[in-house]
């Protein structure tokens, strides 16, 4: 062995250095493509730049414009909150009941679980194209089914009132399998002695749900609630494919607004300021989760 | 008395089970309906697409739609691009996550916990927040409109590292200690001891990363312009925009079916690993 090989050998034989060597490839990519862009977005957010002319510092004026002058941004915020706070609770509510049914230890559970999960792995772009056909006003499947039960279906994607519900239905169809799976796993982790004890005390189905299943699944509920809300704040693909943000910006959420400002209107600084606001929202949800977790979640 | 009580209870349970089946079935049909409708439309000849009331089984099955749809845009090219990009990203992330996951879980070095905390913190930063700086960086590297822009930034991820670390924590520490006593260095341990028992981790992570990379849309939409470099989601959008006026839904559904098919196959084959990955990152995270 020559000197260099010996030195290298010594490095990978020392716990500390081996650790640094093994994380190095990961850390390089991570810092260049994750940490640096996250830090520099705050720098871009105080500039005015169209990628081609020289970059101009504008201080906090992007943020001031965003908060006090931009009516479109107000609409975008409303859309984002409307979407997130309707789509997520409905999906979680349905998923919770489905998981309760799947937890009855009946045959065929794996079959149903697979079917519920299929939409989740399907690429959103293809799913949204299929749904745009389903939402077609004259020949679409949904309006046909609605007609069968005596309802005159709307012109889903071109109606300001119905475009958002259309996106929510698609997204919930796509998402439902994930919280169902998490809830089911959390139910299966509840020790059966607790149910036996409850039954001996005479607790019926509802009391078992209220005093055993529900409190013991609060960590799963909190986990899915926060991850789904954070995911909902970033939803882009379905909006892009289904509505392109329209009609009349009725379905432009914050992530679409970042895309538009940056890559359709070439306002890099302004897009970065919007991105900053999105990050603050997400951070707020995360912090809220930590705080509420301490107070509400039952953990042993 | 005792007997009647039990049988009544069983009857109630049986009714409950039947009710559960009915609800599960209704939701199952709702989940499958879009797939069935996609497949059905994709096989209809043009004169049957706009029939009302809609028919699920076409009178004449038009297999030809698939050939024609795939002729309209270079779909074979998009498929090749998507597969090779997703495969490269998967191999890269398995490599970086596996090594770093081992170090974070099983080796002591100063700064380790702070560094891992930074990884955890960036897990809540979405791509949209990094979008502008990442684009500017790629532009300065002259990587815009090349596959480098899609592949290289995706070769490591906080999420993959986290999942790998969680898995490594469950491997008994005695394995490493025994190998150390036998004179193995740490690189030997990683490749000879840990790698063979990490197959479930690699399967789980591999499926997740592949599906994620295959489905990726926003970043390729921004980073790629040239048609020969596009991936499947971009190809579908191109198709959607190009045929917007006459909208031959049967072709569009045929293209969608073809793009969804690989995912369904991967999921059904690797379901065990996929479900495990979700449950691990969901409940212990």
Contact B107, A14 (CB under 8 A): no
On whether any CB of chain B is under 8 Å from the CB of A128, the answer is: no
What is the model's pLDDT at position B246?
Answer: 64
Tokens 């999921």 belong to B267
Boundary-marking domain end, from B64, B95, B117: B64
Which residues are CB-contacts of B13 (< 8 A; sequence separation ≥ 6)?
none
What is the model's pLDDT at position A297?
Answer: 58
Where does the pLDDT of residue A218 fall: very low under 50, low under 70, confident under 90, or very high at 90 and above?
confident
Q: What is the mean pLDDT of residues A88-104?
A: 93
Q: What superfamily does domain A62-296 belong to in CATH?
A: MetI-like (1.10.3720.10)
Q: How far is C-alpha B156 from the chain's CA centre?
A: 16
Tokens 């600084």 belong to A269
Q: Per-residue pLDDT tens for A68-84?
A: 999 999 999 999 999 99
Average pLDDT, chain A: 89
Which of these ranges, A38-42, B100-104, B166-170, has the smallest mean pLDDT?
A: B166-170
Structural domain count of chain B? 2
Work out the minimum CA distance from B163 to partner chain A, whole angstroms: 14
DSSP B191: I
Work out the minimum CA distance from A161 to partner chain B, whole angstroms: 23
Residues of chain A contacting B82 with CB distance shorter than 8 Å: none
Alpha-carbon gap, residue B75 to B82, rounded angstroms: 10
What are the tokens at B172? Answer: 């008994």
Q: Per-residue pLDDT tens for A219-259?
A: 888 888 888 999 999 999 999 999 998 898 999 999 999 99
Alpha-carbon gap, residue B67 to B82, rounded angstroms: 20
Signed CA dihedral, A277, A283, A288, A291: sign only: negative
Boundary-marking domain end, from B64, B81, B96: B64
What is the model's pLDDT at position B5?
Answer: 46
Where does the pLDDT of residue B18 fall: very low under 50, low under 70, confident under 90, or very high at 90 and above?
confident
Contact A131, B34 (CB under 8 A): yes
Boundary-marking domain end, from B38, B64, B90: B64
Does one domain contain both B93 and B232?
yes
Contact A95, A119 (CB under 8 A): no
Work out the minimum CA distance from B198 to partner chain A, whole angstroms: 16
Does one domain contain both B99 and B234?
yes
Predicted ipTM of the assembly: 0.89
**B283 against A46, higher pLDDT:** A46
Q: Where are the beta strands (DSSP E) in chain A?
A: 47-48, 56-57
User: Domain residues for B22?
Assistant: 2-64
Count of CB pairs separated by less than 8 Å, A with B: 288
Enumerate residues 40 to 79 of chain B having a beta carbon within 8 A of any beta carbon in chain A.
Answer: 41, 49-54
Alpha-carbon gap, residue B22 to B45, rounded angstroms: 35
Is 50 exceeded by the pLDDT of residue A117? yes
Cα dihedral A27→A25→B123→A269 (10° resolution)? 70
> A276: closest CA among A81, A22, A37, A71?
A37
Is 80 exceeded by the pLDDT of residue B285? no
> B281: closest CA among B201, B199, B166?
B166
Q: Per-residue pLDDT tens for B181-203?
A: 888 888 888 888 889 889 889 99
Contact B34, A171 (CB under 8 A): no
Does one domain contain both B58 and B131?
no
Contact B125, B131 (CB under 8 A): no
What are the tokens at A64? Answer: 């001031």
Does one domain contain both B47 and B164?
no
Q: Tell me where in chain A the CATH 1.10.3720.10 domain(s) lie.
A: 62-296
Where does the pLDDT of residue B240 fall: very low under 50, low under 70, confident under 90, or very high at 90 and above?
confident
Q: Per-residue pLDDT tens for A155-200?
A: 898 888 999 999 999 999 999 999 998 898 888 888 888 888 888 8
Contact A175, A120 (CB under 8 A): yes
> A212: closest CA among A224, A200, A196, A195?
A195
Which residues are CB-contacts of B219 (< 8 A; sequence separation ≥ 6)?
B127, B131, B134, B149, B150
Is 60 exceeded by the pLDDT of residue A99? yes
Does one domain contain both B173 and B273?
yes
pTM: 0.90
> Do B100 and A22 lie within an 8 Å CB cutoff?
yes
What is chain B's alpha carbon radius of gyration, rounded to the nearest angstrom? Answer: 25
What is the model's pLDDT at position B283?
Answer: 53
Q: Per-residue pLDDT tens for B33-58?
A: 999 999 998 888 887 888 777 778 88
Which of these ranges, A72-76, A103-107, B169-173, B253-257, has the smallest mean pLDDT?
A: A103-107
Does one domain contain both B79 and B204?
yes
Q: What is the mean pLDDT of residues B224-241?
A: 92
pLDDT over 90 for what percent of chain B?
Answer: 48
Residues of chain B contacting A267 with CB distance shorter than 8 Å: none
Where does the pLDDT of residue B103 fall: very low under 50, low under 70, confident under 90, or very high at 90 and above?
very high
């Amino acid at each position: 062995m020559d000197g260099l090989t010996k030195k290298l050998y010594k490095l990978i034989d020392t716990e500390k250095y081996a650790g640094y060597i093994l994380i190095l490839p990961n850390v390089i990519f991570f810092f260049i493509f994750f940490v640096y862009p996250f830090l520099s977005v705050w720098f871009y957010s105080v500039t005015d730049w169209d990628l081609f002319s020289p970059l101009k510092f504008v201080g906090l004026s992007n943020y001031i414009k965003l908060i006090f002058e931009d009516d479109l941004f107000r609409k975008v915020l409303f859309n984002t909150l409307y979407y997130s706070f309707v789509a997520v609770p409905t999906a979680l509510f349905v998923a919770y009941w489905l998981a309760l049914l799947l937890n009855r230890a009946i045959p065929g559970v794996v079959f149903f679980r697979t079917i519920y999960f299929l939409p989740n792995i399907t690429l959103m772009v293809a799913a949204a194209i299929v749904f745009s056909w389903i939402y077609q006003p004259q020949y679409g499947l949904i309006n046909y089914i609605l007609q069968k039960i005596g309802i005159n279906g709307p012109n889903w994607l071109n109606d300001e009132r119905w475009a958002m519900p259309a996106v929510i239905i698609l997204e919930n169809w796509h998402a439902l399998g994930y919280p169902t799976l998490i809830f089911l796993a959390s139910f299966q982790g509840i020790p059966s002695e607790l149910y036996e004890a409850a039954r001996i005390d005479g607790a019926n189905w509802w009391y078992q749900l209220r005093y055993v299943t529900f409190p013991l699944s609060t960590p799963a509920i909190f986990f899915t609630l926060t991850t789904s809300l954070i995911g909902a704040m970033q939803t882009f693909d379905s909006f892009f494919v289904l509505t392109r943000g329209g009609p009349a910006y009725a379905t432009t959420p914050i992530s679409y607004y970042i895309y538009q400002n940056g890559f359709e209107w070439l306002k890099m600084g302004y897009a970065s300021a919007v991105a900053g606001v999105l990050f603050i929202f997400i951070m707020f949800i995360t912090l809220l989760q930590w705080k509420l977790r301490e107070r509400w979640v039952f953990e042993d | 008395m005792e007997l009647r009580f039990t049988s009544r209870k069983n009857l109630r349970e049986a009714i409950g089970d039947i009710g559960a089946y009915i609800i599960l079935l209704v939701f199952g049909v709702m989940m499958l309906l879009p797939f069935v409708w996609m497949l059905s439309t994709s096989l209809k000849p043009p004169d049957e697409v706009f029939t009302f009331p809609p028919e699920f089984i076409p009178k004449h099955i038009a297999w030809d739609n698939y050939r024609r749809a795939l002729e309209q845009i270079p779909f074979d090219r998009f498929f090749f691009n998507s597969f090779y990009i997703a495969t490269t990203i998967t191999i890269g992330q398995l490599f970086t996550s596996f090594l770093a996951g081992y170090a974070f879980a099983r080796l002591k070095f100063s700064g380790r916990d702070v560094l891992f905390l930074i990884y955890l913190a960036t897990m809540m930063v979405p791509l949209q927040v990094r979008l502008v700086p990442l684009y500017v960086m790629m532009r300065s590297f002259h990587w815009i409109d090349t596959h480098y822009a899609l592949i290289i930034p995706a070769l490591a991820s906080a999420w993959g590292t986290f999942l790998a670390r969680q898995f490594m924590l469950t491997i008994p520490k005695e394995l490493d200690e025994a190998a150390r006593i036998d004179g193995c260095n740490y690189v030997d341990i990683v490749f000879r001891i840990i790698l063979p028992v990490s197959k479930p981790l690699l399967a789980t992570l591999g499926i997740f990363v592949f599906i994620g990379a295959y489905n990726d849309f926003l970043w390729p939409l921004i980073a790629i312009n040239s048609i020969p470099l596009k991936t499947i989601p971009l190809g579908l959008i191109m198709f959607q925009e190009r045929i917007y006026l006459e909208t031959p839904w049967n072709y569009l559904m045929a293209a969608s079916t073809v793009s969804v098919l690989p995912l369904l196959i991967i999921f059904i084959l690797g379901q065990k690993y996929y479900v495990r990955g979700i449950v691990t990152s969901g409940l212990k995270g």
